Structure 1
């Protein structure tokens, strides 16, 4: 509920358009294209602050305990008292280091659940997966006013920012966007900028003339392990895989849920396909979806995928085991063995080869 009564005005739209134009200019300049999400976002915000066309056109809050970029921490409280600000909403970037759902809930309550939340927790030492308390990803997935993203590289982070600015401030959609940020470079991933904000896009296909025997989905830092698993499958097991980047499993699942609901309520009209179905179609090639969060984040897709589906997350293994490329390979081999496409002995061989048993 917008207790601040923020008003979406033509000035809101022109400010968002100016920010989008500056970000797009960064694409043309190749600025931060292959950097980490954290570095890219901070570099981008510095560009927005320094540009004559965007300076003063957006709100920025920084409650991070440490700021390597030398920014100044400010509070959201001025919004509560400035009637002029409330009557003329601007794009809001909120930088934070909030590891718990209670903290994120509190800061979004201060801003009427608006803006783009940029959470720098994954790069900090933590006993929790991705630096987030286990309740945080659950809160993000269940809060319908929040669209959470887990970008793998700087280019994805840029594309998500552009999509969020367009959706929230040009179209006037309710709610807020959330991004978790890490500081590992993206290794030159070829991002499909038009699809990243929709939740997924294909990174690599099976070699020319070959049919994919499995489709691997990955998000955030875990995409590195997914890509490495695809290389192992090809090099050591003679299996070809498609690799998909999924910056938002939650957005994909919600989109598919809306499509399913529409099909139930409007039976006389042809159903409109969702982005997940447009990407994966009706193929029966097994799908393995991997996340650095708990397994349920990726498992949200299971009800909407026609093919055999397996979700892997930080809690999918025993507490003393670490989800990596080798476990992904074993999971793929097990899925293919159940279909009779590889021998069951290959699963035991992989467990032994990678010293997982």
Structure 2
């Protein structure tokens, strides 16, 4: 595979720290907003371009057809012919509209599997879930060079951007970060920046009493998960923990590393994973929801201690749409399987929400 053979230097880290400082400062100085991930990322890059601390400290590529203009770099090819650039890597922001794995594979091959890929496809009309060809999420999940994220809000996108700059360019970890971006504002979510980049964080306190269930959501599907939690509480008296999971893939890989570490150490205390730090050994049932195909959320199945169900764009019949009512019904079914509620409640929910 062709590669840029970029050299990580001390200046690489200092450039990334300047960008992180600017991103953090923008969050402290501006009024709290509920901007979309797309708006937030575009705004942050504009700030980085204008701030004296970060101006000239990063590379920006923008191949989005809607924003092509004179003087805008649209590929990384010029870097291949610049020996100074190859010998002194800088943070790379690549803004694109890549709907297929073939296009994204070509793009990341050009970048030498480096950079922060910012994919603006979800806000464009498409017959595919989240604007992505079905093979694209499979490619993202299976590509070990890639850390894929699906932020729900602008604050999550901001936290992921800063976290990726630190991991890739300050710490010098290999690979690239990928974010899919939508252009719908948040619903008052309060983000935990440190845990957002790790893959998940809780949005509400652990509910008292029983029965209760855990609902996990990513991207735009998080608002349906939150609505499902309200339905469970208001209509059925069931309390739900709600978790935002910007990266099911990162969570699953961390849990896999923990399991491997445990096998190799044979008796020594294994290091923990963020997934297990969050969910522990609880037998509380979990319903994980994604706007991609079901397998994206199902990556957690082998690593969750309690009963687990995954829901995705392909979980229902072609004429059905995954929404808050299906999520609530699935939660009720999981509780009924554990005999924590009556099975008649599942039938009632199917009729009440006209799901049959």
The answer for the alignment partner of 2:222 in structure 1 is: 223
Give the aligned partner of residue 276 of structure 2: 277
The aligned counterpart of 1:85 is 85
In structure 2, the CA distance between the partners of 1:250 and 1:71, relative to structure 1 (3 Å rule), is farther
Deviations 1:55-85 (A, max 9, x none): 1100000000113999935321101110010
The alpha-carbon deviation at position 149 of structure 1 amounts to 0.1
Q: How does 1:318-337 map to 2 (within 5 A)?
A: 318-337=317-336
Q: What is aligned with 1:125? A: 125
Could you report, residue by residue, the CA deviation over 1:20-54 in whole angstroms, capped at 9, with x for unpaired residues? 00000011013574200000000000000011111
- CA deviation string 1:303-325 (max 9, x = no partner): 00000000000000001000000
Higher deviation after alignment, 218-227 or 75-84: 75-84
- 2:50 matched residue in structure 1: 50
Q: 1:268 to 1:56 in 2, by over 3 A?
A: same
Is the aligned partner of 1:36 residue 2:36?
Answer: yes
- Stretch moving more, 318-327 or 27-36: 27-36
Deviation at 1:233? 0.4
Give the deviation of 1:3 after TM superposition: 2.2
Structure 2 gaps of 5+ residues are none
What is the Cα-based RMSD across aligned positions, in Å? 1.6
Cα distance in 2 for residues equivalent to 1:73 and 1:8: 22
TM-score by length of 2: 0.97
Structure 2 counterpart SS, 1:66:
helix
> Bigger CA drift: 55-64 or 267-276?
267-276
Name the CA distance, whole Å, in 2 between partners of 1:297 and 1:107: 22
For the Cα contact (< 8 Å) 1:2–1:113, is it kept in 2? no
- The answer to whether residue 314 in structure 2 is matched with residue 315 in structure 1 is yes
Aligned partner of residue 354 in structure 2, secondary structure: coil
Query: After the TM superposition, which residues 331-350 of structure 1 pair with which residues of structure 2 at under 5 Å, given as runs?
Result: 331-350=330-349
Asked if the contact 1:122–1:181 (Cα under 8 Å) also holds between the matched residues in 2, the reply is yes
Q: 1:183 to 1:214 in 2, by over 3 A?
A: same
Per-residue deviation at 1:212? 6.2
Shift of 1:211: 4.8
Distance in 2 of aligned mates of 1:47 and 1:223: 28
